[in-house]
Chains A and B, each alone.
Chain A
Amino acid sequence: MITNLFYFLSFVAVLSALMVVFSRNPVYSVLYLIITFFAIAGHYVLMQAEFLAVVHVIVYAGAIMVLFLYVIMLLNLNRESEPHKSNILKFAAAICSGLLLVVLVGSLRGTELLKHSEAGEVSSTMGGVKNLGKVLFTDFLFPFEIASVLLLAAMVGVVMLAKAEKKTNL
């Protein structure tokens, strides 16, 4: 059952990811991306990482995608305004990304060794909220706190870039 579910979710994820790239309308692309995220959230659930799944849906499929949609609508992207790309470039890009895929997949063989190493022995409750919270506030307290600096820096940066300039002579 779980295996079937895994293949189903994977199929949905890959398919909708491909659709993100191939669909001509940017709004459709965004919608496909949301589907991809949901599929991936499903994978998290399969791996007993419920918290991650929820966060994934809320942050990515929720907040970020809404932002994307707004931006796309504001920019009024459509087929006509899309800059022309030469076929050679497209071809090169396709070959390039294809190669990258092949190489990455190729180099990832050997993953089955994982189950022999200690890293494979994960407890089933590891992804739970309780466990995660415990780790976050004990072992990973410092990264958790210092992430605030990261967010603050990003926020200050956005404010600085977005704020209207009083003087013009910079």
Chain B
Amino acid sequence: MNALLIVCGLGFISLVAEIINLKKGLHIAIVLGLVVAVAAVIGDWNTSATFFNNMLIFDPFSVAFTCLIIVVGIFWFCLTSPFFIGESHQTDRTALIIFTMVGGIMMVSFHNMAILFLGIEILSISLYVLAGSHKESFFSNEAAFKYFIMGSFATGFLLMGIALVYGATGSFDTSEITMHIEGHKAGLPGFFYVGILLMLVGLAFKISVVPFHFWAPDVYAGSPTMITAFMSTVVKIAAVGAFYKIFGLCFFSVQMSVLPIIQGIIILTLLVANIIAVYQNNVKRMLAYSSIAHVGYMLLGFISGSVKFEGILFFYLASYATTSLIAFGILYAIENAKGSTSIDAVKGLYNQNPFAATCMTIALLSLAGIPPFAGFFSKYLIFGSAIEADHIMLVIVAVVTSLVGVYYYFKPIIYMFSPAQASDKLYLSAVQKAFLGMLTAAALLLGLLPEWIITILS
């Protein structure tokens, strides 16, 4: 709980820093503040309490996800210093990023639909602006605008869904809703289910699954690269966490009514995202589709209903966030050096910077699900639980599509190791190197210790 307040406070601090002209140390101060927040989260470990009249709950799930959000945020900040330092909107950008994290934390720790809605809105509104934070870039503007319009549209459905659910159950409080559902299993009005479905639509938009994904590739490709990285890590963790809290916990007993829909969504997502990714010649766009596809795998785990799913989901998100931060971090450095994220820009990376190429290769291999990296185990656990739940058809689709995935993840790897035309070196700062190295080590370690992570949440 204190972590949320600390993170909020950091947002205000960065705004105040603009007024009293303390921009110099701001970046480090924010990182340190986030570290304090992590310490505060860890202080809440194994406690389970609700706050503010049951508005927020910090149970092990929320604590773990909050922790993940903040830790990934710290790494993100450390990899992104050029995006902030020396820019005219340093404090604004910092504040918006921090507010996004506030929204994210609320989304994984809400105990009341009002907080869910506010969390989503705080997160989204900050993101709309951040997507457009490269004001001179046409694509950045376009991304922001598209995201804004479509995001508002989705929010509308979500709100209507919440309203209908309120109408049927008489409460915004998640546990009261659950209790009401339990008590009135037979007598729930039809519009309650409509409410659930509308909420599903709203959240499906936020986690960007087919057919509600159309914004994602355009927004991911148009936004500044590190904002894309933020969207596909911190924002994704928050959105998937919220999705699980709603459909896995709050609506647990009426899950049956949405499962067929989610199955359809999974098949569509896996097929469409993986297949389109094959054709992409821009690594950033490819990673956008990959990020959509990965949500498909997470949902596959969700419908399997394994008792260990919370742990598996946490592990999946942790390993996905780790590896995609590496990939985006290096892509960002490449973009800064060469002004492009196309596949030709990564050509010959191994000659230009072997360290970056090695990290990137490990990240892509992990995303593709090659053992012994973290990505393999996350997929393995998901497939394992899906097989146990007898979703054989879905597993076949998932395996086939992840084979397709191997193809498009290997494309950049092959390019990286092919000889380069120009001999210009790629420069990475010491901080970037250190943190990329740590993330890569984490990608390896997570592959070695999956059980350890999973048992955190069981």
Contacts and interface: CB of A to CB of B under 8 A. Distances in A.
| Complex contact flag A–B (Cβ < 8 Å) | yes
Contacts of A140: 53, 55, 114
Given A107-B191, A114-B189, A119-B170, A153 B96 contact: yes
Interface stretch (B119-127, B275-283, B392-400): B119-127
Nearest to A145: B52
Interface string B93-131: 101100100100010000010110010011001101100
B37 to A, nearest CB: 15
B412 interface: no
A108 B194 CA distance: 7
B168 interface: yes
Nearest to A110: B190
Contacts of A154: 125
B15 interface: yes
Interface string A127-170: 00000000000111111001101101110111111010111101
Interface string B194-205: 100000000000
A120 to B, nearest CB: 8
A90 B338 CA distance: 43
A111 B95 CA distance: 44
B8 A165 contact: no
Contacts of A113: 187, 189
B178 interface: no
Nearest to B89: A160
Interface string A109-124: 1110110111100000
Interface string B374-416: 0000000000000000000000000000000000000000000
B136 A142 contact: no
B55 A142 contact: yes
A167 B137 CA distance: 14
A146 B191 contact: no
A139 B53 CA distance: 6
B88 interface: yes
A117 B166 CA distance: 12
A1 B96 CA distance: 51
Which interface class (under 10, 10 to 19, 20 to 34, 35 or more) fits B?
Answer: 35 or more
Interface majority SS (helix, strand, loop, mixed), chain A: helix
B353 interface: no
B142 interface: no
Contacts of A149: 8, 11, 99, 102, 122
A2 interface: no
Contacts of A110: 189-191
A142 B167 CA distance: 22
Grouping DSSP codes into helix (H, G, I), strand (E, B) and loop, the B interface class, with mixed when no group exceeds half, is helix
Nearest to B121: A150
A31 B128 CA distance: 29
Given A110-B189, A149-B122, A153-B122, A119 B99 contact: no
A123 B422 CA distance: 76
A104 interface: yes
Given A107-B194, A150-B118, A170-B134, A141 B52 contact: yes
A132 B194 CA distance: 28
Contacts of A104: 194
A150 B122 contact: yes
A117 B170 contact: yes
Contact of B126 (A119, A153, A166, A170): A153
A102 to B, nearest CB: 13
A12 B387 CA distance: 56
B190 A170 contact: no
Contact of A143 (B51, B118, B166, B169): B118
Contacts of B194: 104, 107-108
Nearest to B51: A142
B92 interface: yes
Interface string B75-102: 0000000000001110011011001001
Contacts of A166: 88
Contacts of A150: 118, 121-122, 125
Contacts of B168: 114, 117, 119
Q: Which of A114, A139, A141 has the most CB of B within 10 A?
A: A139
Contact of A161 (B51, B135, B193): B135
B296 interface: no
A69 B189 CA distance: 41
Contact of B167 (A114, A153, A159): A114
A111 B114 contact: no
Nearest to A154: B125
Contact of B92 (A109, A116, A156, A168): A156
Instruction: List 6 tightest A-B contacts by C-beta distance, closest first.
Output: A119-B170, A157-B129, A142-B52, A110-B190, A113-B189, A107-B194
12 contacts: A104-B194, A107-B194, A108-B190, A110-B191, A117-B170, A141-B52, A142-B53, A143-B118, A146-B122, A150-B125, A153-B125, A157-B125
Given A107-B191, A138-B53, A160-B89, 13 more contacts: A104-B194, A111-B189, A117-B184, A117-B187, A119-B169, A141-B52, A142-B51, A143-B112, A143-B115, A150-B118, A152-B15, A156-B96, A160-B129
Interface of A: 104, 107-111, 113-114, 116-119, 138-143, 146-147, 149-150, 152-154, 156-161, 163, 165-168, 170
